[in-house]
Amino acid sequence: MKPAIKRILFFVIVIGLWQLGSKAGLWSEILLPSPVSVFEALVTGIQDKTLIYDLIASFKRLIVGLAIALAIGTSLGILLAKSKTADDTIGSLVLAFQSVPSIVWLPLAIMWFGLGESAIIFVVILGGTFVMTLNVRVGIKNVSPLYIKAARTMGSSGLDLFIKVILPASVPYLVTGSRLAWAFAWRALMAGELLSTGPGLGYTLRYASDFGNMSLVIGVMVIIGVIGAVVDQLIFQRIEKSVIRRWGLDS
């Protein structure tokens, strides 16, 4: 049986058991609405275009923040890989920041930028930058010395060696870093939008929670999870697998 069919059957069973449990009164509808109630809340949100505006706003912030994070992370990763001094100093700081959850940066972002777009994008940038930095650094450092020696034998050196040999050899790590940066940035975006004052999935999630609309709360959570899984599996996983095959790294 194909993995896709297995997943579909699994979720059908889970939703079916969820609906049966709600009908049987095993838990309060207020605390955990039935799948039907969640679906109705999502349909209402789509019909009045609330969720559509939320998706557009969230993805605008994500695209800007993730693009900046990838650019900074790649540049910083190259610096750490090529400079021992930078690796020993800035590298330790990057490791420390990587262990700090994105939501912890929210108070600082609000103090610096206020409750606006800039604060959310700032958190998104931090969410994706450090993981990208570490992957780029590892990728460049793990380039086989045989490649470098062979290129130098043929007269390549300096920037030419880096662009034609080292950077292409580290592409699998760059792709993996981009995939992880997307995941961390997506989580950071949702955390940032919880305290935002404008449209966005995180804002609607908090708004629905404040007014006790649990059907919409779970519906938004489902949207966040589905988008995360779909983007990861249909885009980043495919790119990663394609690169791994092309670079001869698949087992």
235-248: per-residue pLDDT in tens?
888 888 888 788 76
Is residue 231 domain-resident? yes
Is residue 30 domain-resident? no
Is residue 11 domain-resident? no
Is residue 113 domain-resident? yes
Helices (H), the chain: 3-23, 35-47, 50-82, 84-98, 106-113, 117-141, 145-153, 158-161, 167-169, 171-193, 201-210, 214-231, 237-246
| Tens-place pLDDT, residues 70-87 | 999 999 999 999 899 999
What's the pTM value of the predicted model, to 2 decimals? 0.88
For residue 193, the number of C-alpha atoms closer than 13 Å in the C-beta half-sphere is 27
| Tens-place pLDDT, residues 87-127 | 999 999 999 998 888 888 888 888 898 878 899 999 999 99
Domain extent for 212: 53-245
Is residue 118 domain-resident? yes
Number of structural domains the chain divides into: 1
Is residue 138 domain-resident? yes
Provide mean pLDDT across the span 21-43.
90
Neighbours of 100 (CB within 10 A): 11
Instruction: Show the tokens assigned to 217.
Output: 């709360």
Is residue 39 domain-resident? no
**pLDDT, mean over the chain:** 89
Is residue 189 domain-resident? yes
Read off the CATH number of the domain in which 199 is found.
1.10.3720.10
